[in-house]
Structure 1
Amino acid sequence: MSEGAGTDMPAGVGTFARLHQLFESRRLTPTQRRIAHCLVQRAAEVPFLSSVELAQLAGVSQPSVTRFAIALGFDGYPGLRSHVRELAPPGTGSDQEPNNPYQQAVQTEIDNLRHLATLLADPGPIRRAGRLLAASRPLPVLGLRASAAPARGFAYFAAKIHPDVRLLDEGGSLLADRVDAARHAGASALLCFALPRHPRETLSALIHARDTGLTVVTIADGTFAPVAAHSDLLLPAAVGTGLVFDTVSAPMLLGQVLLEAMCDALPDAQVHLEEFDARAAARGLFVD
């Protein structure tokens, strides 16, 4: 979603786009991807952090930060920090310093949502994704392990406006068969939720989907995620890594935004919604 960023865009958009571009062409290890996530999320703070402090924020070792900087082509962490200082405009950090880890986790999610808002300043990719998914009959939605919940939520709402949504939330030998069945039934695109940690089965499923001719749209935790090379259109949304388990407010919201784009691309979406409301009222489904 960083494509199309121009000089007339807000300063924050250009900053995050250039940071993502710094990682896009690199094959980063899982540890390095964790550091990259932290660097993007805390771009305004990194110019003032030591390598030890950045390592603590990312939950990695200090030598890992040094190796990460070298992998990006810098002599060491000071060079990377200077580069980020040049990219990050002043005043983009949080106004309040969280007092405890729970507040920090919430603040990280707020920062992730702000980053997502800047990326959505260019609506082109999300609109293109909405058109691709709206036109696919049926529409397979893939999400395994940690990605199963957002995929299931998306599929639930998408089924209210799309005539044939097929949720693929279980791996195993039948997964490729279900992708094949969707393709043979007429599917032209597949939506994948790919959040860390990334199962090998997800990568295999995306490779297979593209081999069958499906266009793959992926909501992932960044443009440097392992699924990037196997996606035709990648929509990035950062996850929070400060708690024991990742927090995924931004990817979940991006899924809802994508649903909105699908509604815009489906001329009869409102009719389907009104029909559902009429059926729900007749059956007394809801108490409110």
Structure 2
Amino acid sequence: MSVADSPAARLQALFEGHRLTPTQRRIAHSMVRRAADVPFLSSVELAELAGVSQPSVTRFAVALGFDGYPALRRHLREVAPAEPVAEAGSSNEYQQAVEAEIANLRHLAEALADPRPVRRAGGLLAASRPLPVLGLRAAAAQAQGFVYFAAKVHPDVRFLGEGGTMLQDRIDAAVRAGATALLCFALPRHPREVVDTLDYARRAGLTVVTVADSAFAPVAKVSDLLLPAAVGTGLAFDTACSPMLLGRVLLEAMCDDLPEAQSRLEEFDAKAAARGLFVD
């Protein structure tokens, strides 16, 4: 199945061109995350999935141009015929969480069938000297992991992992030093400060590349290039295997636009060996 034929892609195409309220974006986000199941859900079930009221689901369907939710569901069954996802059966809750993450990774693989957005992002990140990388709260680990590896090949990577009044100062300093782009990792729950910071970064002249859990995340409106990668929600705390992998894919794309990347890696390996840095 190509990315254009995937249930998630067909749903996103349905939502394009519509001005959705925050509640409606939340419904759209939930539908994309459960794209294979949505044609078989009642309005009450979709409302529970999205954490909204049943009338909100009805208003959402009308906003998309349908007479109501039953008409939207009929449309989804016609354009995205598929069997509902099988019940987990004997799988326990931990196995179900892993299976859900595997499904998220499959969706990411489908999206990467068109590599142009990631390649464009890699070029933007490689060209920015310095390169600020933002990640607050739940997204801090993803951003810090990217920075750790990116610093081996990029001459100046700056981790922005703490909020507060200094954050905009650090963006100003990066712009004065020559930065042209900012990479952001944004995961739920989305801090208001991240949205405000990305808005500030754009007004400062930076091109904002964002890895987020959905194309309908609150950061979408303040991002120049958004790359979605779903998170798992089956456990008490969200799991972010897909955003992490997408970050590594971005690293690969960035290396492709850094001619000195290989020599920098070889230099690091030589110094690490001389220092006895690793035991393996």
CA distance in structure 1 between the partners assigned to 2:44 and 2:92 by the alignment: 19
Does the alignment pair 1:247 with 2:247? no
Does the alignment pair 1:18 with 2:10? yes
The one-letter code sitting in structure 1 at the alignment partner of 2:76 is: V
Aligned position for 1:177: 169
Query: Counterpart of 2:9 in 1: which secondary structure?
Result: helix
Aligned position for 1:4: none
Query: Counterpart of 1:254 in 2: which secondary structure?
Result: helix
1:106-125 maps to which residues of 2 (within 5 A)? 106-125=98-117
**1:23·1:224 contact (CA, 8 Å) conserved in 2?**
no
Q: Which moved more, 1:14-23 or 1:152-161?
A: 14-23
Aligned position for 1:6: none
**1:154·1:255 contact (CA, 8 Å) conserved in 2?**
yes
Aligned position for 1:48: 40
* Deviation of 1:258 (Å): 0.3
Distance change (3 Å), C-alpha of 1:92 and 1:287: farther
Query: Counterpart of 1:218 in 2: which secondary structure?
Result: strand
CA distance in structure 2 between the partners assigned to 1:129 and 1:241 by the alignment: 27
CA distance in structure 1 between the partners assigned to 2:44 and 2:96 by the alignment: 18
Query: Counterpart of 2:133 in 1: which secondary structure?
Result: strand
Distance change (3 Å), C-alpha of 1:98 and 1:200: farther
* Deviation of 1:36 (Å): 2.6
Aligned position for 1:194: 186
Distance change (3 Å), C-alpha of 1:279 and 1:28: farther
* Deviation of 1:52 (Å): 3.4
1:267-286 maps to which residues of 2 (within 5 A)? 267-286=259-278
CA distance in structure 2 between the partners assigned to 1:11 and 1:173 by the alignment: 41
TM-score, normalised to structure 1's length?
Answer: 0.88
Query: Counterpart of 1:186 in 2: which secondary structure?
Result: coil
1:161-176 maps to which residues of 2 (within 5 A)? 161-176=153-168
* Deviation of 1:88 (Å): 2.0
1:1-288 maps to which residues of 2 (within 5 A)? 10=2, 13=5, 15-24=7-16, 25-29=18-22, 32-58=24-50, 62-90=54-82, 93=85, 99-288=91-280
Query: Counterpart of 1:104 in 2: which secondary structure?
Result: helix
Unaligned runs of 5+ in 1: 1-8
Q: Deviations over 1:4-60 (max 9, x none)?
A: xxxxx826645423312333433342x544433332232222222323333444455
Distance change (3 Å), C-alpha of 1:67 and 1:241: farther
* Deviation of 1:67 (Å): 4.2
CA distance in structure 2 between the partners assigned to 1:33 and 1:100 by the alignment: 31
Unaligned runs of 5+ in 2: none
Distance change (3 Å), C-alpha of 1:60 and 1:287: farther
- Taking only aligned residues, the RMSD between alpha carbons, in angstroms, comes to 2.3
TM-score, normalised to structure 2's length?
Answer: 0.90
CA distance in structure 2 between the partners assigned to 1:194 and 1:174 by the alignment: 19
Query: Counterpart of 2:154 in 1: which secondary structure?
Result: coil
Q: Percent identity?
A: 72
Query: Counterpart of 1:176 in 2: which secondary structure?
Result: helix
**1:12·1:92 contact (CA, 8 Å) conserved in 2?**
no
Query: Counterpart of 2:227 in 1: which secondary structure?
Result: strand
CA distance in structure 2 between the partners assigned to 1:103 and 1:34 by the alignment: 26
**1:12·1:89 contact (CA, 8 Å) conserved in 2?**
no
CA distance in structure 2 between the partners assigned to 1:28 and 1:103 by the alignment: 35
